[in-house]
Amino acid sequence: MSHQTGFISHQKLTLDKDGTYKTANFTGQVFICSLATFTFEMQFNDSGWFQFDQGLQFNIAPDKFTKLAFRALNTTEDTQLEFYTGGAQLADARLNIIRDPNHYQILNSQSETRLKPFAAATIAAGATATFYGTGGSGGTQAGVLYAYRKAIIVTNNDPDNDLEVYVDAVAAGNRIGTVFARQAWLLETSDDVVVKNETVADIACRVCEVFYPA
C-alpha cells in the first residue's frame, strides 16, 4: 500500500552491505537525500537503477513516484540512509541558523575584516611597491595584525599616467592588470601583488587592502 505524502515525509533506512534491496511505498514528486554514509543505488516505480548520494535530490513533477527501492554499494559496512519525500520542493536553510534548546538565531555570514592602508601614497618613477597577501612578522609578510588578504583596491590619482600590476615578481608573464589614470582597480586575492610605476614621473596613489584579522 502506498502512503500519500501531502507535503514532506522523513524516513530512515539501513541498507545491508550484502546488497539486498529495500522498498519504501510513498507517493510524491520530490526526493531529497539528507544523509547517506556511502554512495548507494536507487530506483523509483520499478525503473532502472541509478547511483545516488547525500545532498542530491530530484523532482519528477508533474509525474509522481509511488514506489522507491534502495540497495547498498558498499560491501564492507551497512549504509545508513535518511531522505525526504513529498509533493512540494523543500529548501534547506539549516546551515544558516544556530539551534539551541530555547530559540533559533540567524547567523551573520559576514566575517570581520581589517583595513590596511598604503602609508607611502606615492610610487616613485620606475619603482615598485609590493603588497603581501598573508600576515606575519617577516619581511615578506603583511604584519602580525593580519591573517590573509580578502581584497586589494589600487586607486591611481595621477591625471595622465598609468600604473601596472603584477603577481609576484615583475616580469612580462606576470602582468595582470593596469590601473589607468584617475581610476581604481580591485582584485579579490591573497596572493602577493606588485604595483609598478613604469613612467619617468612619481605617481600618487592610494592602496587599500582588506584583510581578515589574525
pLDDT, residue 72, reads: 96
Please confirm whether the linkage preceding 117 is cis (ω < 30° from 0). no
pLDDT, residue 94, reads: 59
Note down pLDDT in tens along the chain; length 214 residues: 444 455 788 899 999 999 999 998 888 899 999 999 999 999 999 999 999 999 899 999 889 999 999 999 999 999 999 999 987 766 665 555 555 555 555 555 678 899 999 998 999 999 999 999 999 999 999 999 999 999 999 999 999 999 999 997 788 788 999 999 999 999 999 999 999 999 999 999 999 999 999 9
pLDDT, residue 95, reads: 54
pLDDT, residue 137, reads: 93
CATH code for the part of the protein at 3-106: 2.60.120.10
What is d(CA 146, CA 126) in angstroms, rounded to the nearest whole number?
A: 29
Q: For residue 129, what are the β-bridge partners?
A: 195
pLDDT, residue 92, reads: 62
The CATH class of the 114-213 domain is mainly beta
Domain ranges of the chain: 3-106, 114-213
Torsion of CA 28, 33, 36, 42, to 10 degrees: 50
What are residue 115's phi and psi, to 5 degrees?
-90, 140
pLDDT, residue 1, reads: 40
Looking from the CA of 111 toward its CB, the CA atoms found within 13 Å total 11
Q: In one letter, which amino acid is 92?
A: D
Q: What is the pTM of this model?
A: 0.52
Exposure letters 62-94 (e unless 16+ CB within 10 A, then b): eebbeebbbbbeeeeeebebebbbbbeeeeeee
